[in-house]
C-alpha cells in the first residue's frame, strides 16, 4: 500500500472513500493531465502485476485493467445527509468507466482524445472500436504498451 500512496501523491491524484482514482489534476492543475494519468497507470500496472502474480500462485486469479479518458467533468461532493462521496460525473467519466469495463487484465485502454495528448510519449496498439453504454457512437480505443525511450 505504501507504493500506491506514493504513486498517488507523485501524480497529484485525489482519492474517493473507496480508494479508487477519481481525477488527475484535481484539485491542483498539472501539466498534461492525460499524460500524467497514463504514466501513473503504467506504474500501477507494474506494481499490481507483481501482486497479481503472487496471488495467482496461491490460487487467486485477479485481473487489473484501466480505462482513461480526457475532458471536462463535474467534480464535487454528491449524496445525501449521512452519505457523501466525492465524484467526477459527465461523459468523460462515463467513457473512462466503460473503457475500464472493456480492458482485459493488464490493459490500459485510452480514448482517441487521450492518444492525441500522449502519442509522442507512449507506444500504443489499436484494439478496435467499442460500442459503449451511454455513448452514441462506437469509440476507438488504444492499449498503452510502454513509454517510448528517448
pLDDT bucket at 12, cuts 50 / 70 / 90:
low
For the stretch 105-142, pLDDT in tens is 999 999 999 999 999 999 999 999 999 998 899 999 99
Residues constituting the chain? 150
Q: Measured between alpha carbons, how far apart are the two ends of the chain, in Å?
A: 31
Between the ranges 6-10, 78-82, 113-117, where is the mean pLDDT highest?
113-117
pLDDT, one tens digit per residue, over 22-70 is: 455 566 778 888 999 999 999 989 888 888 888 889 998 888 899 999 9
Give the model's pLDDT for residue 9.
55
**DSSP bridge partners of 67:** 109
Helix (H) or strand (E) holding 44: helix 33-57
CA 109 to centroid of chain Cα atoms = 8
Residue 148 phi/psi, 5-degree rounding, is -85, 125
For 86, counting Cβ atoms within 10 Å of its Cβ (0-12 exposed, 13-18 middle, 19+ buried), the class is middle
In angstroms, the CA 144 to CA 63 distance is: 16
* pLDDT for 20: 47
Least confident of 2-6, 24-28, 50-54, 84-88: 2-6
Residue 1 has pLDDT above 60, yes or no: no
Q: Are 97 and 23 in contact (CB under 8 A)?
A: no
Q: What are phi and psi for residue 74, nearest 5 degrees? A: -90, 125
| Cβ-based burial of 96 (10 A; exposed 0-12, middle 13-18, buried ≥19) | buried
Cα torsion through 130, 135, 137, 143, rounded to 10: -30
Domains belonging to the chain, first-starting first, are: 2-147 (3.30.70.1230)
Amino acid at each position: 500500500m505504501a507504493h500506491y500512496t506514493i504513486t498517488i501523491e507523485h501524480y497529484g491524484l485525489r482519492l474517493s472513500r473507496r480508494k479508487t482514482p477519481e481525477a488527475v489534476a484535481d484539485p491542483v492543475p498539472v501539466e498534461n493531465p492525460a499524460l500524467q494519468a497514463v504514466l501513473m497507470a503504467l506504474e500501477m500496472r507494474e506494481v499490481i502485476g507483481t501482486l497479481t502474480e503472487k496471488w495467482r500462485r496461491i490460487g487467486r486469479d485477479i485481473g487489473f485493467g484501466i480505462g482513461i479518458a480526457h475532458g471536462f467533468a463535474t467534480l464535487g461532493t454528491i449524496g445525501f445527509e449521512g452519505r457523501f462521496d466525492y465524484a467526477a460525473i459527465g461523459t468523460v467519466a462515463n467513457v473512462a468507466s466503460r473503457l475500464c469495463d472493456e480492458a482485459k487484465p493488464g490493459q490500459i485502454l485510452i480514448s482517441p482524445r487521450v492518444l492525441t495528448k500522449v502519442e509522442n510519449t507512449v507506444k500504443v496498439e489499436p484494439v478496435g472500436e467499442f460500442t459503449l453504454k451511454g455513448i452514441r457512437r462506437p469509440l476507438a480505443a488504444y492499449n498503452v504498451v510502454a513509454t517510448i525511450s528517448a
